[in-house]
Structure 1
Amino acid sequence: MTFVKFNQAPAVKSFGGLVEDIFNHNGFSRFLKDDVHTNDFYGAYPPVNITENKEGYQVDLLVPGLAKEDFKINLENKVLTISAEKAAETKDENQKQLRREFSFRSFKRSFTLNEQVDAEKIQAKYENGILKLQLAKKEKVQDAAKAIVVE
Protein backbone atom coordinates (compact mmCIF):
# COMPACT_ATOMS: atom_id res chain seq x y z
CA MET A 1 0.00 0.00 0.00
CA THR A 2 1.32 3.43 -0.92
CA PHE A 3 0.69 6.45 1.20
CA VAL A 4 0.72 9.95 -0.17
CA LYS A 5 2.42 12.51 2.03
CA PHE A 6 0.94 15.98 1.86
CA ASN A 7 3.02 19.03 2.67
CA GLN A 8 1.83 21.21 5.49
CA ALA A 9 -0.12 24.25 4.31
CA PRO A 10 1.91 27.47 4.22
CA ALA A 11 1.28 30.08 6.85
CA VAL A 12 -1.61 32.38 6.06
CA LYS A 13 -0.56 35.93 5.19
CA SER A 14 -2.54 39.04 5.93
CA PHE A 15 -3.90 41.11 3.07
CA GLY A 16 -1.22 43.71 3.74
CA GLY A 17 1.46 41.03 3.52
CA LEU A 18 0.12 39.83 0.18
CA VAL A 19 0.03 43.35 -1.23
CA GLU A 20 3.58 43.96 -0.03
CA ASP A 21 4.76 40.73 -1.69
CA ILE A 22 3.09 41.66 -4.97
CA PHE A 23 4.39 45.22 -5.23
CA ASN A 24 7.72 45.03 -3.44
CA HIS A 25 9.04 41.68 -4.59
CA ASN A 26 8.37 42.01 -8.33
CA GLY A 27 5.30 39.80 -8.07
CA PHE A 28 3.07 42.20 -9.98
CA SER A 29 5.59 42.96 -12.73
CA ARG A 30 6.38 39.25 -13.02
CA PHE A 31 2.64 38.55 -13.41
CA LEU A 32 2.37 41.13 -16.20
CA LYS A 33 5.52 39.97 -17.96
CA ASP A 34 4.93 36.23 -17.64
CA ASP A 35 1.18 36.05 -18.17
CA VAL A 36 -0.40 39.09 -19.76
CA HIS A 37 2.27 40.24 -22.21
CA THR A 38 3.00 36.87 -23.79
CA ASN A 39 1.51 35.48 -26.97
CA ASP A 40 0.06 32.63 -24.95
CA PHE A 41 -2.21 34.80 -22.82
CA TYR A 42 -5.69 33.27 -22.84
CA GLY A 43 -4.21 30.37 -24.78
CA ALA A 44 -2.83 30.91 -28.24
CA TYR A 45 -3.24 27.19 -28.74
CA PRO A 46 -6.67 25.69 -28.26
CA PRO A 47 -6.82 22.74 -25.87
CA VAL A 48 -6.92 19.35 -27.54
CA ASN A 49 -8.06 15.86 -26.54
CA ILE A 50 -6.81 12.84 -28.49
CA THR A 51 -8.34 9.41 -28.04
CA GLU A 52 -7.66 6.07 -29.71
CA ASN A 53 -9.78 3.01 -30.32
CA LYS A 54 -9.37 0.01 -32.60
CA GLU A 55 -10.82 1.87 -35.62
CA GLY A 56 -8.71 5.01 -35.32
CA TYR A 57 -8.04 8.22 -33.48
CA GLN A 58 -10.24 11.17 -32.57
CA VAL A 59 -8.77 14.65 -32.19
CA ASP A 60 -11.02 17.22 -30.49
CA LEU A 61 -10.07 20.90 -30.36
CA LEU A 62 -11.95 23.35 -28.17
CA VAL A 63 -12.45 26.35 -30.48
CA PRO A 64 -15.69 28.19 -29.69
CA GLY A 65 -16.82 31.27 -31.57
CA LEU A 66 -15.67 30.18 -35.03
CA ALA A 67 -17.49 28.98 -38.11
CA LYS A 68 -16.53 25.87 -40.06
CA GLU A 69 -15.38 28.14 -42.91
CA ASP A 70 -12.72 29.64 -40.61
CA PHE A 71 -10.74 26.38 -40.40
CA LYS A 72 -7.96 25.17 -42.67
CA ILE A 73 -6.89 21.56 -42.30
CA ASN A 74 -3.94 20.27 -44.31
CA LEU A 75 -1.93 17.06 -44.39
CA GLU A 76 1.56 17.21 -45.83
CA ASN A 77 4.46 14.83 -45.23
CA LYS A 78 2.55 13.08 -42.40
CA VAL A 79 2.04 16.39 -40.58
CA LEU A 80 -1.59 17.31 -39.92
CA THR A 81 -1.94 21.08 -39.54
CA ILE A 82 -5.10 22.67 -38.20
CA SER A 83 -5.43 26.44 -38.29
CA ALA A 84 -8.11 29.08 -38.09
CA GLU A 85 -8.30 32.77 -38.70
CA LYS A 86 -11.26 34.99 -37.94
CA ALA A 87 -11.65 38.42 -39.43
CA ALA A 88 -11.85 41.29 -36.96
CA GLU A 89 -15.33 42.43 -36.11
CA THR A 90 -16.37 45.80 -37.47
CA LYS A 91 -17.21 48.47 -34.93
CA ASP A 92 -20.54 50.18 -34.92
CA GLU A 93 -19.97 53.92 -34.50
CA ASN A 94 -23.37 54.24 -32.78
CA GLN A 95 -22.35 51.89 -29.95
CA LYS A 96 -19.94 52.49 -27.13
CA GLN A 97 -17.91 49.47 -25.99
CA LEU A 98 -18.29 49.30 -22.20
CA ARG A 99 -16.47 46.06 -21.62
CA ARG A 100 -14.67 43.58 -23.86
CA GLU A 101 -13.39 40.40 -22.26
CA PHE A 102 -13.14 38.06 -25.21
CA SER A 103 -11.72 38.25 -28.66
CA PHE A 104 -11.07 35.84 -31.46
CA ARG A 105 -7.52 34.88 -32.30
CA SER A 106 -5.93 32.89 -35.01
CA PHE A 107 -4.18 29.66 -34.15
CA LYS A 108 -2.17 26.89 -35.76
CA ARG A 109 -1.60 23.39 -34.34
CA SER A 110 0.37 20.60 -36.00
CA PHE A 111 0.47 16.88 -35.25
CA THR A 112 2.79 14.29 -36.75
CA LEU A 113 0.83 11.22 -37.79
CA ASN A 114 2.14 7.69 -37.55
CA GLU A 115 2.07 5.05 -40.27
CA GLN A 116 -1.22 3.62 -39.01
CA VAL A 117 -3.34 6.61 -40.08
CA ASP A 118 -5.17 6.31 -43.40
CA ALA A 119 -4.81 9.81 -44.88
CA GLU A 120 -7.60 9.20 -47.38
CA LYS A 121 -10.19 8.66 -44.63
CA ILE A 122 -9.65 11.72 -42.42
CA GLN A 123 -12.93 13.48 -41.63
CA ALA A 124 -13.66 16.74 -39.79
CA LYS A 125 -16.82 18.06 -38.19
CA TYR A 126 -17.44 21.26 -36.22
CA GLU A 127 -20.26 21.40 -33.70
CA ASN A 128 -20.93 23.19 -30.42
CA GLY A 129 -17.52 24.89 -30.41
CA ILE A 130 -15.55 21.66 -30.83
CA LEU A 131 -13.68 20.70 -33.99
CA LYS A 132 -13.72 16.90 -34.21
CA LEU A 133 -11.37 15.03 -36.52
CA GLN A 134 -11.68 11.31 -37.16
CA LEU A 135 -8.44 9.67 -38.26
CA ALA A 136 -9.11 6.12 -39.40
CA LYS A 137 -6.44 3.47 -39.05
CA LYS A 138 -5.28 1.60 -42.12
CA GLU A 139 -6.70 -1.86 -42.50
CA LYS A 140 -4.11 -4.50 -41.88
CA VAL A 141 -3.81 -6.62 -44.97
CA GLN A 142 -2.91 -10.17 -44.20
CA ASP A 143 -1.30 -12.34 -46.83
CA ALA A 144 -3.57 -15.00 -48.23
CA ALA A 145 -3.10 -18.46 -46.82
CA LYS A 146 -0.70 -20.44 -48.90
CA ALA A 147 0.16 -24.10 -48.75
CA ILE A 148 3.86 -24.85 -48.96
CA VAL A 149 4.85 -28.08 -50.62
CA VAL A 150 7.83 -29.89 -49.22
CA GLU A 151 10.06 -31.24 -52.01
Structure 2
Amino acid sequence: MTFVKFNQAPAVKSFGGLVEEIFNNAGFNKAWKDDFHTHDFYGAYPPVNITETKDAYQVDLLVPGLSKEDFKINLENKTLTISAEKVAESKDENQKQLRREFSFRSFKRSFTLNEQVDAEKIQAKYDNGVLKLQLAKKENVQDAAKVIVVE
Protein backbone atom coordinates (compact mmCIF):
# COMPACT_ATOMS: atom_id res chain seq x y z
CA MET A 1 0.00 0.00 0.00
CA THR A 2 1.38 3.44 -0.93
CA PHE A 3 0.55 6.63 0.87
CA VAL A 4 0.71 9.95 -0.92
CA LYS A 5 1.80 12.84 1.25
CA PHE A 6 0.60 16.27 0.29
CA ASN A 7 2.83 19.23 0.99
CA GLN A 8 1.30 21.56 3.48
CA ALA A 9 1.62 25.32 3.18
CA PRO A 10 4.43 26.67 5.37
CA ALA A 11 3.51 28.38 8.58
CA VAL A 12 2.92 32.10 8.23
CA LYS A 13 5.77 34.16 9.67
CA SER A 14 5.72 37.69 10.93
CA PHE A 15 7.69 40.36 9.10
CA GLY A 16 10.20 40.41 11.94
CA GLY A 17 10.57 36.65 11.69
CA LEU A 18 11.24 36.87 7.96
CA VAL A 19 13.83 39.60 8.40
CA GLU A 20 15.54 37.65 11.16
CA GLU A 21 15.60 34.52 9.03
CA ILE A 22 17.09 36.39 6.07
CA PHE A 23 19.83 38.13 8.02
CA ASN A 24 20.63 35.28 10.39
CA ASN A 25 20.67 32.62 7.71
CA ALA A 26 24.15 31.10 7.65
CA GLY A 27 24.33 31.20 3.85
CA PHE A 28 23.48 34.89 3.67
CA ASN A 29 25.94 35.79 6.42
CA LYS A 30 28.68 33.77 4.77
CA ALA A 31 28.07 35.38 1.37
CA TRP A 32 27.90 38.86 2.90
CA LYS A 33 31.00 38.34 5.02
CA ASP A 34 33.03 36.54 2.40
CA ASP A 35 32.14 38.64 -0.62
CA PHE A 36 31.60 42.18 0.58
CA HIS A 37 33.03 42.78 4.03
CA THR A 38 36.47 41.41 3.33
CA HIS A 39 39.37 42.77 1.38
CA ASP A 40 38.91 39.90 -1.09
CA PHE A 41 35.88 41.58 -2.68
CA TYR A 42 37.57 44.97 -3.02
CA GLY A 43 40.86 43.39 -4.03
CA ALA A 44 39.27 41.48 -6.89
CA TYR A 45 36.80 44.20 -7.87
CA PRO A 46 38.10 47.65 -7.06
CA PRO A 47 35.32 50.23 -6.69
CA VAL A 48 34.74 52.40 -9.73
CA ASN A 49 33.06 55.75 -10.35
CA ILE A 50 32.04 56.72 -13.87
CA THR A 51 30.96 60.23 -14.74
CA GLU A 52 30.01 61.88 -18.02
CA THR A 53 30.49 65.39 -19.31
CA LYS A 54 29.58 66.76 -22.71
CA ASP A 55 33.16 66.08 -23.92
CA ALA A 56 34.21 62.88 -22.17
CA TYR A 57 33.64 60.02 -19.75
CA GLN A 58 35.73 59.86 -16.57
CA VAL A 59 36.44 56.42 -15.09
CA ASP A 60 37.99 56.40 -11.60
CA LEU A 61 39.14 53.17 -9.94
CA LEU A 62 40.10 53.08 -6.28
CA VAL A 63 43.31 51.00 -6.28
CA PRO A 64 45.70 52.13 -3.54
CA GLY A 65 49.10 50.56 -2.95
CA LEU A 66 50.06 50.13 -6.59
CA SER A 67 52.38 51.99 -8.91
CA LYS A 68 51.60 53.10 -12.43
CA GLU A 69 53.82 50.32 -13.80
CA ASP A 70 51.52 47.69 -12.25
CA PHE A 71 48.59 48.59 -14.54
CA LYS A 72 47.76 47.11 -17.89
CA ILE A 73 45.05 48.85 -19.94
CA ASN A 74 43.83 47.39 -23.23
CA LEU A 75 41.11 48.28 -25.71
CA GLU A 76 39.94 45.52 -28.00
CA ASN A 77 36.64 45.26 -29.88
CA LYS A 78 35.08 48.13 -27.90
CA THR A 79 35.99 46.42 -24.59
CA LEU A 80 38.21 48.42 -22.28
CA THR A 81 40.05 46.11 -19.87
CA ILE A 82 41.92 47.44 -16.86
CA SER A 83 44.05 45.05 -14.84
CA ALA A 84 46.92 45.09 -12.39
CA GLU A 85 49.13 42.50 -10.81
CA LYS A 86 51.32 43.13 -7.81
CA VAL A 87 54.06 40.68 -6.99
CA ALA A 88 53.97 39.50 -3.38
CA GLU A 89 56.46 41.11 -1.08
CA SER A 90 59.41 39.02 -0.02
CA LYS A 91 59.48 38.10 3.65
CA ASP A 92 62.38 38.94 5.90
CA GLU A 93 63.38 35.84 7.86
CA ASN A 94 64.46 38.07 10.77
CA GLN A 95 60.94 39.41 11.25
CA LYS A 96 57.93 37.66 12.69
CA GLN A 97 54.60 38.67 11.16
CA LEU A 98 52.26 39.50 14.05
CA ARG A 99 49.30 40.70 12.04
CA ARG A 100 48.62 41.09 8.31
CA GLU A 101 45.34 42.71 7.33
CA PHE A 102 46.13 43.88 3.83
CA SER A 103 47.78 42.37 0.83
CA PHE A 104 48.10 43.20 -2.81
CA ARG A 105 46.13 41.16 -5.27
CA SER A 106 45.61 41.25 -8.97
CA PHE A 107 42.36 42.51 -10.46
CA LYS A 108 40.69 42.83 -13.82
CA ARG A 109 37.72 45.03 -14.75
CA SER A 110 36.21 45.31 -18.22
CA PHE A 111 33.84 47.90 -19.66
CA THR A 112 32.06 47.95 -23.01
CA LEU A 113 32.46 51.32 -24.69
CA ASN A 114 29.82 52.93 -26.85
CA GLU A 115 30.29 54.46 -30.29
CA GLN A 116 30.85 57.94 -28.84
CA VAL A 117 34.28 57.14 -27.33
CA ASP A 118 37.29 58.22 -29.35
CA ALA A 119 39.71 55.32 -28.81
CA GLU A 120 42.68 57.38 -30.00
CA LYS A 121 42.21 59.96 -27.22
CA ILE A 122 41.97 57.73 -24.11
CA GLN A 123 44.29 58.94 -21.36
CA ALA A 124 45.20 57.39 -18.00
CA LYS A 125 46.75 58.86 -14.86
CA TYR A 126 47.45 57.30 -11.45
CA ASP A 127 47.38 59.70 -8.52
CA ASN A 128 46.97 59.11 -4.76
CA GLY A 129 45.62 55.57 -5.12
CA VAL A 130 43.09 56.44 -7.83
CA LEU A 131 43.50 55.37 -11.45
CA LYS A 132 41.78 58.02 -13.60
CA LEU A 133 40.89 57.34 -17.21
CA GLN A 134 39.66 60.11 -19.47
CA LEU A 135 37.67 58.76 -22.42
CA ALA A 136 37.16 61.60 -24.86
CA LYS A 137 34.01 61.60 -26.95
CA LYS A 138 34.15 61.82 -30.71
CA GLU A 139 33.25 65.18 -32.14
CA ASN A 140 29.72 65.18 -33.45
CA VAL A 141 29.90 65.27 -37.19
CA GLN A 142 26.43 65.99 -38.39
CA ASP A 143 25.34 65.01 -41.84
CA ALA A 144 24.64 67.91 -44.16
CA ALA A 145 21.02 69.01 -44.17
CA LYS A 146 19.06 67.29 -46.84
CA VAL A 147 15.67 68.14 -48.29
CA ILE A 148 13.58 65.23 -49.41
CA VAL A 149 11.06 66.00 -52.09
CA VAL A 150 7.78 64.15 -52.09
CA GLU A 151 6.83 63.01 -55.57
Give the alignment's TM-score, normalised by structure 1.
0.72
Residue 134 (str. 1) matches residue 134 (str. 2): yes
Unaligned ranges ≥5, structure 1:
1-9, 11-20, 147-151
Distance, in Å, in 2 between the alignment partners of 1:110 and 1:41 is 18
Q: How does 1:1-151 map to 2 (within 5 A)?
A: 27=26, 31-32=29-30, 35-36=33-34, 41-43=40-42, 44-143=44-143
Distance, in Å, in 1 between the alignment partners of 2:98 and 2:68 is 30
SS at match of 1:69: helix
| More strand as a share of residues | 2
How many residues are matched? 126
Shift of residue 41, structure 1, vs aligned partner = 3.2
Question: Measured at CA, do residues 37 and 114 of structure 1 come closer, stay the same or move farther in structure 2, by a change above 3 Å?
Answer: closer
Q: Is the 8 A contact 1:70 1:84 kept in 2?
A: yes
Distance, in Å, in 2 between the alignment partners of 1:32 and 1:126 is 34
SS at match of 1:74: strand
Question: Measured at CA, do residues 131 and 138 of structure 1 come closer, stay the same or move farther in structure 2, by a change above 3 Å?
Answer: same
Shift of residue 141, structure 1, vs aligned partner = 1.7
**Coordinate RMSD, CA, aligned:** 3.2
Identity of aligned residues (%): 76
Q: Is the 8 A contact 2:39 2:102 kept in 1?
A: no
Give the alignment's TM-score, normalised by structure 2.
0.72
Q: Is the 8 A contact 2:35 2:41 kept in 1?
A: no
Superposed structure 1 runs of 4+ greater than 4 Å apart: 37-40, 143-146
Distance, in Å, in 2 between the alignment partners of 1:86 and 1:122 is 24
